[in-house]
Amino acid sequence: MPPGGWFSRHKPESDLPEGLWSKCERCERIVFVRDLERNLKVCPHCDYHHRLTAWERIEMLTEPGSFSEWDADLRSSDPLGFPEYPEKLEKDRQKTGLTDAAVSGCGSIGAHRVSMGLTDFRFRAGAMNSVVGERLTRAVERAVDERLPVLLVSGTGGGASMYEGILSLMQMPKTSVALARHHDLGLLFISLLTDPTMAGVYASWASLGDLTLAEPGATIGFTGSRVSKQAQAHVGRRPANYQTAEFQQDRGMVDRVVPRKDLKATLEKLLDWTA
């Protein structure tokens, strides 16, 4: 890990306000931006793991210069003609510099070439539409062709995108059948759950890892209470840490909650063990 400069390449995409200091999103204490970035965007006061962009994540996990992007030319076609969808996509393209909510490609983690797919919460809350499903599926298919391990990193608020309706829903079985083939060949799939991982994403590829890791404090669950009356009715009966990474580890759904600073080393060990 180089001291500082982790996210130098993609600074303009940062979620934090410009300036020398900023407020932690959880504890609201003042943090120097430089300290925060040196600390991998983890709050030095309360340990809150601020969301990373897909490119920050790639920079953090892969060896410098090793990552090459795939399928950057795919674009959503607004198949439903959904009201205001193209405008919303365009706005997020401008805001993030991304073409859609997932980035995929091949990079090295330690000595291992890994096929990777990452969703980025800043783009349409990381929702899975046809482009996201297609990029992830192609990443898994390339891993099948080249017998590579797969690492998928989720960060998705709403799960599958409402704006592409049934076609977004079909990205759940689509990514799952691709992972089935990868699984059937005895290849390794690591799923890394980051804040937030919900609904159709959590109920498809994000839950299919041989190993499922999660970042501390990440929100991980099936249904948010806004979507369903049934879920709302249960609000009072929830454990305090309901739908967090720690809750999911407690219930046996997450294999290991890993602090961000240990992630790369942990991934390397797991890749070494299975290679």
The residues binding another protein (CB under 8 A) are 73-77, 79-80, 82-83, 99, 130-131, 133-134, 137, 158, 160-162, 164-174, 176-181, 183-184, 199-200, 202-208, 221-223, 226-228, 230-231, 234, 237-239, 242-243, 251-253
Whose CA is closest to 184, among 136, 130, 154, 143?
A: 143
Distances in whole angstroms, Cα of residue 243 to Cα of each of 29, 87, 248: 25, 32, 7
Please, which of residues 20-39 interact with Zn ion by CB under 5 A? Answer: 24, 26-27
- Which of 36, 40, 42, 43: binder of Zn ion (CB under 5 A)? 43
Nearer to Zn ion, 24 or 178 (CB): 24
Contacted entry of another protein, Zn ion, none for residue 275, CB cut-off 5 to 8 Å set by kind = none
Contacted entry of another protein, Zn ion, none for residue 260, CB cut-off 5 to 8 Å set by kind = none
Query: Which residue matches tokens 């991304």?
Result: 98
- Beta-strand relationship, 102-109 and 112-119: antiparallel
Q: How far is the CB of 224 from Zn ion (least distance, A)?
A: 23
Nearer to another protein, 111 or 233 (CB): 233
130: which residues sit within 8 A by CB, 6+ positions away?
76, 77, 79, 164, 167, 168, 171
Query: Which residue matches tokens 């073409």?
Result: 99
Pairwise CA distance, residues 153 & 100, whole Å: 15
Q: How far is the CB of 10 from another protein (least distance, A)?
A: 21
Please, which of residues 45-64 interact with Zn ion by CB under 5 A? Answer: 45-46, 48
Q: How far is the CB of 167 from another protein (least distance, A)?
A: 5
Structure tokens given for 275: 């290679």
